[in-house]
Amino acid sequence: MTLDYEAVIGLEVHVQLNCPTKMFCQCPNRAGDEPNLNTCPICLWLPGNLPRFSREALEKAILAGLALNCEIQRESAFDQKVYYYPDLPKGYQLSQFHHPLARNGWLDITDQDGVTRTVRIQKIHMEEDVARLVHEKEGRTSVSLVDFNRAGAPLVEIVTQPDLRSPHQAMEFLRCLRAQLRTSGCSDCSMEQGTMRVDANVSLRARGTDQMSTKVEIKNMNSIRHMGDAIAYEISRQANCLQSGEPIVLHTRLWDPDNRVTTAMRGKFEGPCIPDPSVPRIVIDDGWLEELRRALPEMPDKRADRFSRDYGLSREEAAMMSSEREWSDYLEAVVEHGVAPRLASQWIIAQLIPLFKSKNQDFSENAVNPERFAGLLLMLQREEINAKAAKEVLKAIHGKEASPEEIVAGLGLRQVSETDEIETLVDRVLAANMSAVENYRKGASKAMGFLMGQAMQASGGKANPRLLKEVMQRRLQ
C-alpha cells in the first residue's frame, strides 16, 4: 500500500452461543451430527409453528454484551429480515435490527507500537442461524443439499465502529474479543469450527481527509491470520484502483486462502426488516442483570492490567498471559510458590506453551503441574542451575513423576557457584588461550565472548554465568 492512503476497517463478527438448545426450540445445538437429525417443525420452519424464545440464549447473549463493555438494553425485540435463499426457505431470518440487545461497547487493543487504542462496538444483536448448504457432485451432476441442524442455532452479531486502521489491529481486536467472550462463558469462539465467523468492511481514504472510498465487504475468512491476509490484500487492491482511477463499487468479496486473493461474489437480494409479531418483546430486569454481572469471572483485559501493574509484565506479556484463562491461572499458581512473576511468564511463553503445543497437549492435562514448574524456576532463581540446564530439566520432568530436584541431582546439573572452583576453571581456560587473552588486552572485546564460551564448555555447561563473568573480568584486568 502506498503511504497516501489510510485504511478504515470495521468488523461484523458472528458468534454462536454455546447453549445446549437452539434459539427458538428444544433441538440440540450441536455440530457434527448426521445431517437433519436435530430438527423439529419449529426449526424446519414449517407453517403453523410459533418460535419459543430460549432464556438461556438470552443469558449467553447478555454475557457477550457485558464482556464487551456494552450497555445492555432493558428492552429489545426481534425483526424479520426478509430475504429468500435456499438456506432460509421460510423467507425471513429472526434478527434484531431495530432494537438490538446491546449498544455502545468498547475493547482496548495494544497496537504494534505498544500504544493502546480503543475500538468502539456499535451494537450486538441476537439472531437465528440459517441452514447449511452442502454442494456436492453426484456422478456428473452438481447437487446442493440442505442440512437444517444449524438452522435456528443461537447467534449474536457484534458490529464494530470503523475504528480499525490496519490488518494487525483487526487481528489484535479479534484475539481480544475471542479472549473476552471465551472467559465470559458464552461461546468457544472457534473460527476453525465455525462458531466465530468474521466479515470485514474495508475502505480507503487519502490520509488526513474524511473522503472515504466505497466500502467493500470481505467474507469467508476462517482464521484470524486469513482475515489479516485478506484485509491486507484488499487494501492494496483498492489502493491500486484509486491510483489508476478505476472506480470502487460497493460489493462483497470472498477470500480465497489458496490463491491469496479476494474475488467478487454475486450480489444477494436483501429485503426489508419488519417487526416480528411471533416473539414477545424482551424485557430484562435489573436484578437479573446485576446477578449476571456479578457472576462474571475477571475478564482478560482487567487481568492483563493487573498483570502489568502488580507483576511488572510488559503489555505484550500481560496480553499474552491473560488471553487464555488456563494460562493466567497457571501463572498465578506458579507465582504463589514464590517465583518472580516476570521469570514465570517468560518461561511459560517461551518454553512451556511451545512444549505443550509440540506434544498436542494443553494445560489442563497437567503434564507439568504448577508446583513442579515452580520448583524448577525456583532453582533457576536461586542460581542453583542455569537456564540451559533448566531447559533440559523441563524436558525431563514433562509427563513424569520425578521432581525437578531429583532430575537435577540425577543428571548432575547443579550449577557451579563456588568462587574458588570457578577461579581455578577460569585460570585454566586463560592459560590455554593466551592469544585470545592478548587480543582482548589489545582491545578486541569480542575475545571475551570466546573465552566465556570456552570456560562454560569446560564446566560442562554448569558454571554460574554471572559469577563466571565476574571472575573472568577480574582476571583479565
Cβ contacts of residue 203 below 8 Å, gap of 6+?
Answer: 7, 8, 162, 212, 213, 214, 215, 216, 238, 248
Q: Minimal distance in Å, beta carbon 402 to Zn ion?
A: 53
Measured from the CB atom, the residue of 29 and 464 that comes closer to Zn ion is: 29
Measured from the CB atom, the residue of 40 and 476 that comes closer to Zn ion is: 40
Collapse the DSSP code of 386 into the 3-class scheme (helix H, G, I; strand E, B; otherwise coil) and give the result. coil
- Phi/psi of residue 108, each to 5°? -90, 135
- State the first-to-last Cα distance of the chain, in angstroms, to the nearest integer: 55
Q: Minimal distance in Å, beta carbon 52 to Zn ion?
A: 10
Q: Minimal distance in Å, beta carbon 24 to Zn ion?
A: 8
Task: Let me know: does 176 contact 301? Beta carbons within 8 Å.
Answer: yes
Measured from the CB atom, the residue of 127 and 324 that comes closer to Zn ion is: 127
Closest CA to 38 of 57, 61, 19: 19
Measured from the CB atom, the residue of 40 and 448 that comes closer to Zn ion is: 40
Parallel/antiparallel/unpaired status of strands 5-16 and 154-160 = antiparallel
Measured from the CB atom, the residue of 149 and 345 that comes closer to Zn ion is: 149
Q: Minimal distance in Å, beta carbon 275 to Zn ion?
A: 23
Is 90 near Zn ion (CB under 5 A)?
no
Residue 298 gets which letter from DSSP? Answer: P
Measured from the CB atom, the residue of 9 and 25 that comes closer to Zn ion is: 25
Closest CA to 232 of 215, 209, 255: 255
- 3-class SS shares of the chain: helix, strand, coil, % to 5: 40, 25, 35
Q: Minimal distance in Å, beta carbon 222 to Zn ion?
A: 26
Residue 348 gets which letter from DSSP? Answer: I
- Number of residues this chain uses to bind Zn ion (CB under 5 A): 5
Q: What is the per-residue binding string for Zn ion in 379-398, x denoting contact by CB under 5 A?
A: --------------------
Calculate the alpha carbon distances from 438 to 85, 126, 342, 435, 472 in Å.
83, 76, 40, 5, 14
Query: Which part of the chain contacts Zn ion (CB under 5 A), choosing from 35-43, 71-79, 349-357, 379-387?
Result: 35-43
Measured from the CB atom, the residue of 43 and 200 that comes closer to Zn ion is: 43
Q: What is the per-residue binding string for Zn ion in 176-205, x denoting contact by CB under 5 A?
A: ------------------------------
Is 40 near Zn ion (CB under 5 A)?
yes
Cell of residue 172, nine digits: 489484535
Query: Which part of the chain contacts Zn ion (CB under 5 A), choosing from 24-32, 58-66, 257-265, 362-370?
Result: 24-32
Query: Which part of the chain contacts Zn ion (CB under 5 A), choosing from 17-25, 73-81, 375-383, 456-464?
Result: 17-25
Contacts 24+ apart (CB under 8 A), 337-341: 337/370, 337/371, 337/374, 337/375, 337/378, 338/374, 338/378, 339/374, 339/377, 339/378, 339/381, 340/381, 341/307, 341/310, 341/311, 341/312, 341/313
Q: Minimal distance in Å, beta carbon 42 to Zn ion?
A: 5
Q: Minimal distance in Å, beta carbon 43 to Zn ion?
A: 3
Is 27 near Zn ion (CB under 5 A)?
yes
Which member of 25, 61, 119, 121 binds Zn ion (CB under 5 A)? 25
Residues in the chain, overall count:
477
Measured from the CB atom, the residue of 52 and 475 that comes closer to Zn ion is: 52
Closest CA to 108 of 147, 57, 69, 63: 69
Is 57 near Zn ion (CB under 5 A)?
no
Which member of 43, 102, 181, 196 binds Zn ion (CB under 5 A)? 43
Is 153 near Zn ion (CB under 5 A)?
no
The residues of the shown chain that bind Zn ion, judged by CB under 5 A, are 25, 27, 40, 42-43
